[in-house]
Amino acid sequence: MVDTNQKEFRKRDLLYVVPLWLLSLILPDPHLDHLRKESRFRRRDLFYLGGLLLLPLMWPDTHLHHLMVLAGINAILALGLSLFLGYAGQISLGHAAFFGIGVYTTAILTTRYGFPTFVAFWASALVSAALAYLIGKPILKLKGYFLALATLGFGEIFLVIVRESHSLTGGVIGIFGIPWFSLAGFSFDTYLKQYYLTWGVLIGLLLFSKNLIRSKIGRAFLAVATSEDAASTVGIKVAQIKLGAFVIGAAFAGFAGSLFACVMSTANPETFGLNLSVLIIMMVILGGMGNLYGPIAGAIFLTWLVDILGKYQEYSLPIYGLILILLLISFPDGIGTRLNIRLIYLISYFGRKKRREKAEL
Amino acid sequence: MTPWAYIPQLFSAGITIGAIYALVGLGFVTIARASQIINFAQGEFVMLGAMITFFLLKGGGLPYPLAALVAVILVVIIGFLLHITVLYPLRKASIPILLMATLGASIFISNTTALVFGTLPRTLPAFLGNQPLQIGGIFIVPQSLFVLGATFLLLISLYLLSHRTLLGKAMEASSTDPLGADLLGISRNLMVFLAFGVSAGMGAIAGIFITPIFYTSYHAGTLIGLKGFVAAVLGGWGKNSGAILGGFVLGVVESLSIAFIPSGYKDAVAFVILLLILYFRPKGILGSPFIDSRRW
Amino acid sequence: MKGKKGMVLWISFLILISISWATPAYLAEKSPYKIGVNLELTGPWAEVTKTVKMAMVMEVEKINAMGGVDGHPLELVIEDNGFDLGRAAANMTKFSRNKEIVAVVGPFEDNLQATTRAIAEREGITDIIICPSNPMVRSLNQRWSFNIAQSDIIVSQKLVDLCLARGYKKILVFPGNWPLALSLAEYFKRFGEEKGMKVIISKETHKPTDIDMTPQLIKLKPIIESEKVDALYASTGGPPGPIICKNMRTLGIKIPIIGTHAFGFNFIIALGGEAMEGVEFAAGKPVVPYQLDKDDPVRPIVIDFDKRMRARYGVGADQIAGHAHDTIWLIYDALKRCQGKVTRANFRDALENTKGLKSCHGIYNYSPTDHDGLTKRDLVFIRIEGGKFMRIKFPGFE
């Protein structure tokens, strides 16, 4: 994957240097991550954080805030899935179901039993994670397409159960009037406040994942993704590691679902179908598998793209399909990954050139 | 009235719908036998076959058999195009990417169909009238018999293709051992290319046969494709006979389940069976030639 | 050489941009009144929303050709939401951000409506919903939301009338598992039992994506035979309707079928073929434009609309197109009554005070307590005969 791109120097690469350098400020670089002192808070992270904090204040536009709230929720979903798909290397086509479980847990707890949203928020993640544990235990022995199919089956079964248990979930009619997210009397009732809430949660989860992948478990994720056989020979319990990634991803989806329920104020089974699962996987793939900033960038990009396409009316989905295929063909390992590999190569090329010149002198 | 009284009629309904799943599942297996790719756009071929036939019949005024033939040829060309434009450039990609690429293609095809042919659901005239036949208290539409016949004809022709011709053997070789096939001078890309054509054609034939019983619409392909795939895995992934058996089992169980549980759960039944099969016997009912290979 | 090429590229790029900026400049002297349209133009419901869009575009062009609203042209800003909750909600904020947009039409499906209605309430923009079928959504009674189509309540009442006129005493309901179909079934049972009928709602349901109802109907067949049911009420919409009729006839069930207003589309007959013969239902007036009473005030409007639809798109008017037509003319009427002071609040008040507006489906009356425009009188009884919709009348049950 990496070395095919690094074979030779092309003249036109000179044209890319400046935009690539600019992009490198924004985009993550998976391969250099291991070399740096990872625990240090880097300048780039400050840049992101500042950008995030200032963005809604620079553009006081409700639509942008709303869109970024949705993007943030999608980013939480994508971040959770990227641990499973990007780090542990397994496919799940049922991630939307865990999102749905989060939404319904919050909806039921707040509207039926009057729990505060903050409690429901944590309960959503717990319920999602617990169900993921129960589901994951048997089906994670599968690999590849079969795992995709099994998770897809789980997603469909979840939808059927939601549609049919009228007394609990309101069936196809759904649940209405979920309250705003509120914390200690402070209610997040505008999109601006929800923006800070969503992205705050996302940053928290991001820090958690950052620490996680740097830990022993995180290394085990990578080992499992690379080769399950090799991982098991060095004493990694492959099944447990996969299950762990699955459960953590589901818990993230539960958080996202809880936030979504509070933002949208309704819960409805039509929202958690296969389309959403596909969209989340697309975010992870486009952002680049095997890094944490990629899925977030992918989520922002796809949420924005889908919103922009709305004005093309009937043409929006064909264009969307076409863009997806083209992006996959041109960047099969993610946009961020591909650009970064190029950049790393260029930097090393110039380094080597200098050294060569020295040697020739 | 006990549930057992419905069983015969439910069984015959299940056989009809099972034949449909089997026909669709065969298309998945054909591609898998050549390349181990799962083409999630397979359902769209089924939809396209019926849609194009409808428009040649109503718009172009062609006679029914000719319209069907032209439609099958057009869909085969679309299948070739799908391979050249999407899957060939991604031949070295990993599973998630391939999965997404075929799903993207499925979104593109179904919505472009909506633009070109309109969004209304369509149906085709039955081959031999709609008068139901009554056999011992069981009612059957004549079209179901055609669907059954088509299923078995396709099974036999696929059997002949893969066991009696060099081409079929080459296709299978390129799937089971890509490196070995390469060494023997079999062009793997060509084999996958041909497999896409064959499976698109089979999808189109399936669409033309089953649409008179139901209807087709631009978004009908996804669901039926999914069920066909489940059928193929159920019976034994990578075996033509497995897809047929899986289709019938799925159709009959789905249909019979209605006798005992509320019909809202009907769709879950298919997936519960799938999960059980995947857990206890991932090879499927008849066993699978691929299941031990490393990719699965 | 390289530089020259680059220059050419840049210049052509700039020209392209300037062209794309220049084109939308509106030629009219007065600024247009914009209406946001938030529709499911892609996804599984595109079949109905396409008609909505066609009819709306045609009517807006007609109004503009007539000189617009006091010289201001109308303009539609159409956005697709792809049957996605997040996108539909984002479209609402997009519309409310644009200060020129006076009102929003849509979304069409009720799964999305609760959220968009709540946003409309918060942002203070009128949300006109064409088909609010979820009883929970309809009962919210929000200030800024208005409903166009006949509610499930009046459709059910009209269907009960149909059964009374036909003398059916015992009805079996086979509902679809989505909000509209379920609430139609519930209201039918409630009103039917008030009139002394026996209504059985089957436990078996179907989904909009089901392609085969045979299994469910096999289970219903013994009930039909043992209970001596007079008719089956298929509380459904879209393709499942004809599938139910076809499968019933295949199974040799010969009792009459009653349908909902969602049976009043030509593609339904095309899908069902012979099996649709004799199906009866109540539907809006655009289904049978030429069979309306001579003294019906709506008749010339529907016939004119039908002719224009045929001339422009080659398909006649149907109920959905009728709703879209009515939406535009309600907006036109309300904008006129704003008397030049068009703000979002003024428009809402004007729309709420709509009285006796004659349009395709009937006569619209809104009031602060009632945001449903139509009544039971705006429905007619229809029977499918010879592959066509035929109006039927019963003395005493207009």
Burial class (CB in 10 A: 0-12, 13-18, 19+), A181: buried
Nearest to C179 among A172, A264, A310 (CB): A172
Q: Which residue has the higher pLDDT, A90 or C18?
A: A90
Cβ distance B52 to B62 under 8 Å?
Answer: no
The pLDDT > 70 percentage for chain B reads 96
Nearest to B132 among C42, C205, C252 (CB): C252
Q: How far apart are CA B26 and CA A170, in angstroms?
A: 39
Contacts of C137 in chain A (CB under 8 A): 176
User: Mean pLDDT in chain A?
Assistant: 82
A101 has pLDDT over 90: yes
Contacts of B14 in chain C (CB under 8 A): 215
Question: Which pLDDT band holds residue C131 (cuts at 50, 70, 90)?
Answer: confident
Q: Which chains touch C (3 or more CB pairs under 8 A)?
A: A, B
Domains C33-150+301-377 and C153-291+379-392 fall in the same CATH topology: yes
> Cβ of B258 and C43 within 8 Å?
no
Model confidence pLDDT, tens digit, residues A315-324: 888 899 999 8
C152 touches chain A (CB under 8 A): no
Distance from CA of C381 to the nearest CA of A (A): 29
C362 has pLDDT over 80: yes
Residue B208 phi, psi dihedral angles, 5° rounding: -65, -35
- Amino acid occupying residue C62: K
Q: How far apart are CA A36 and CA A34, in angstroms?
A: 6
What is the H or E stretch that residue C173 is in? strand C170-175
Model confidence pLDDT, tens digit, residues B156-215: 998 888 888 888 888 888 877 778 888 888 888 888 899 999 999 999 999 999 898 888
Per-residue confidence (pLDDT) for residue A3, from 0 to 100:
45
**What is the pLDDT averaged over residues C101-106?**
90
> Cβ of A139 and B38 within 8 Å?
no
B283 has pLDDT over 60: yes
> Cβ of C91 and A310 within 8 Å?
yes
Q: Which of A142, A157, A270 should be substituted to probe chain B, the one whose Cβ sees the most B Cβ atoms within 10 Å?
A: A157
Per-residue confidence (pLDDT) for residue C153, from 0 to 100:
86
Contacts of C115 in chain A (CB under 8 A): 264-266
Q: Which of C75, C80, C134 should be substituted to probe chain A, the one whose Cβ sees the most A Cβ atoms within 10 Å?
A: C80
> Cβ of C115 and A310 within 8 Å?
no
To the question of domain B3-280 being in CATH 1.10.3470, the answer is: yes
**What is the pLDDT averaged over residues A200-220?**
87
Distance from CA of A9 to the nearest CA of C (A): 20
* Structure token pair of residue A301: 């990009």
Model confidence pLDDT, tens digit, residues B34-56: 877 888 899 999 999 999 999 99
Residues with Cβ within 8 Å of residue C14, at least 6 apart in sequence: none
Q: Would you tell me which residues 27-86 of chain C have a C-beta closer than 8 angstroms to some C-beta of chain A?
A: 39, 41-43, 46, 50, 53, 78-86
Q: Nearest to residue A265, comparing CAs of A204, A163, A194? A: A194
Strands A266-267 and C33-39 come out as unpaired
Q: Cα–Cα distances in Å, from A147 out to A108, A275, B217, B296, C243?
A: 30, 18, 30, 9, 35
CATH architecture of C153-291+379-392: 3-Layer(aba) Sandwich (3.40)
Residue C370 phi, psi dihedral angles, 5° rounding: -130, 110
Q: How far apart are CA B148 and CA A202, in angstroms?
A: 54
Question: Which pLDDT band holds residue C2 (cuts at 50, 70, 90)?
Answer: very low
Q: How far apart are CA B271 and CA B285, in angstroms?
A: 15
Cβ distance A129 to A257 under 8 Å?
Answer: no
Model confidence pLDDT, tens digit, residues B98-124: 888 998 999 899 989 988 888 888 888
Q: How far apart are CA C108 and CA C38, in angstroms?
A: 8
Range scoring the smallest mean pLDDT among A6-10, A274-278, B106-110, C314-318: A6-10
Per-residue confidence (pLDDT) for residue A37, from 0 to 100:
46
Q: Nearest to residue B15, comparing CAs of B132, B138, B134? A: B138
Contacts of A329 in chain B (CB under 8 A): 86, 89-90, 101
Per-residue confidence (pLDDT) for residue C9, from 0 to 100:
57
CA dihedral C183, C185, C190, C196 (to 10 degrees): 170
B101 touches chain A (CB under 8 A): yes
Q: How far apart are CA C246 and CA C275, in angstroms?
A: 5
Q: Which of B35, B83, B99 should be substituted to probe chain A, the one whose Cβ sees the most A Cβ atoms within 10 Å?
A: B99
Distance from CA of A312 to the nearest CA of C (A): 7
Cβ distance C241 to C348 under 8 Å?
Answer: no
Q: Nearest to residue C243, comparing CAs of C317, C176, C294, C185? A: C176
Nearest to C206 among B140, B224, B263 (CB): B263
Instruction: Could you please state the CATH topology (level 3) that the domain comprising C33-150+301-377 is classified under.
Output: Rossmann fold (3.40.50)
Contacts of A141 in chain B (CB under 8 A): 279
Q: In 3-state terms, what secondary structure has residue C39?
A: strand
> Cβ of A328 and B104 within 8 Å?
yes
Contacts of B222 in chain A (CB under 8 A): 274
Per-residue confidence (pLDDT) for residue B296, from 0 to 100:
41
Distance from CA of C347 to the nearest CA of B (A): 34
B294 has pLDDT over 50: no
Nearest to A160 among B38, B93, B264 (CB): B264
ipTM of this complex: 0.86
Distance from CA of C311 to the nearest CA of B (A): 18
> Cβ of B93 and A328 within 8 Å?
yes
The DSSP code for C317 is -
Q: Which residue has the higher pLDDT, C102 or B7?
A: C102
Give residue limits of the domains in chain C: 33-150+301-377, 153-291+379-392
Q: How far apart are CA C107 and CA C127, in angstroms?
A: 9
Cβ distance C229 to C169 under 8 Å?
Answer: no
Per-residue confidence (pLDDT) for residue A351, from 0 to 100:
62
Per-residue confidence (pLDDT) for residue A345, from 0 to 100:
66
Distance from CA of A329 to the nearest CA of C (A): 24
Please give the full DSSP string across B146-214, using - where no structure is assigned: HHHHHHHHHHHHHHHHHHHSHHHHHHHHHHH-HHHHHHTT--HHHHHHHHHHHHHHHHHHHHHHHTTTS
Range scoring the smallest mean pLDDT among B167-181, C117-131, C187-201, C352-366: B167-181
The pLDDT > 90 percentage for chain C reads 29
Per-residue confidence (pLDDT) for residue A14, from 0 to 100:
65
A312 touches chain C (CB under 8 A): yes
What is the H or E stretch that residue A135 is in? helix A117-139
Per-residue confidence (pLDDT) for residue B55, from 0 to 100:
92
Question: Which pLDDT band holds residue A102 (cuts at 50, 70, 90)?
Answer: very high
Q: Nearest to residue A109, comparing CAs of A175, A172, A166, A161? A: A175
Cβ distance C319 to C284 under 8 Å?
Answer: yes
Contacts of C275 in chain B (CB under 8 A): 130
Nearest to A320 among B90, B107, B295 (CB): B107
Residues with Cβ within 8 Å of residue C301, at least 6 apart in sequence: C358, C359, C360
Contacts of A271 in chain C (CB under 8 A): 84-85, 111
A194 touches chain C (CB under 8 A): no
The pLDDT > 90 percentage for chain A reads 29
> Cβ of A149 and B114 within 8 Å?
no
> Cβ of C271 and B139 within 8 Å?
no
Strands A186-187 and C126-129 come out as unpaired
Q: In which residue are the tokens 């979504």 written? A: A260
Per-residue confidence (pLDDT) for residue C28, from 0 to 100:
45
Cβ distance C287 to C382 under 8 Å?
Answer: yes
* Structure token pair of residue C284: 């809006």
Per-residue confidence (pLDDT) for residue A234, from 0 to 100:
87
Please give the full DSSP string across C90-159, using - where no structure is assigned: HHHHHHHHSTTEEEEE---SHHHHHHHHHHHHHHT-EEEES----HHHHTT--TTEEE-SPPHHHHHHHH
Q: How far apart are CA B108 and CA A321, in angstroms?
A: 5
The pLDDT > 70 percentage for chain C reads 92
User: Mean pLDDT in chain B?
Assistant: 86
**What is the pLDDT averaged over residues C305-324?**
90
Burial class (CB in 10 A: 0-12, 13-18, 19+), B21: buried
Nearest to A91 among B95, B115, B226 (CB): B95
Residues with Cβ within 8 Å of residue A193, at least 6 apart in sequence: none
Distance from CA of A309 to the nearest CA of C (A): 8
Question: Which pLDDT band holds residue A67 (cuts at 50, 70, 90)?
Answer: very high
Question: Which pLDDT band holds residue A21 (cuts at 50, 70, 90)?
Answer: low
A-C contacts (CB, under 8 Å) = 96
Q: Which residue has the higher pLDDT, A331 or C309?
A: C309
Residue of C nearest to B259 (CA): C219
Distance from CA of B91 to the nearest CA of A (A): 10
B72 has pLDDT over 90: yes
Contacts of C135 in chain A (CB under 8 A): 173
Q: How far apart are CA A113 and CA A131, in angstroms?
A: 21
Residue A250 phi, psi dihedral angles, 5° rounding: -65, -40
Range scoring the smallest mean pLDDT among A37-51, C4-18, C317-331: C4-18
Q: Is the dihedral of CA B226, B227, B228, B234 positive or negative?
A: positive
> Cβ of C274 and B130 within 8 Å?
yes
Q: How far apart are CA B43 and CA A141, in angstroms?
A: 28
Burial class (CB in 10 A: 0-12, 13-18, 19+), A53: exposed
Model confidence pLDDT, tens digit, residues C39-62: 888 887 787 888 899 999 999 999
> Cβ of B122 and C271 within 8 Å?
yes
Cβ distance B20 to B147 under 8 Å?
Answer: yes
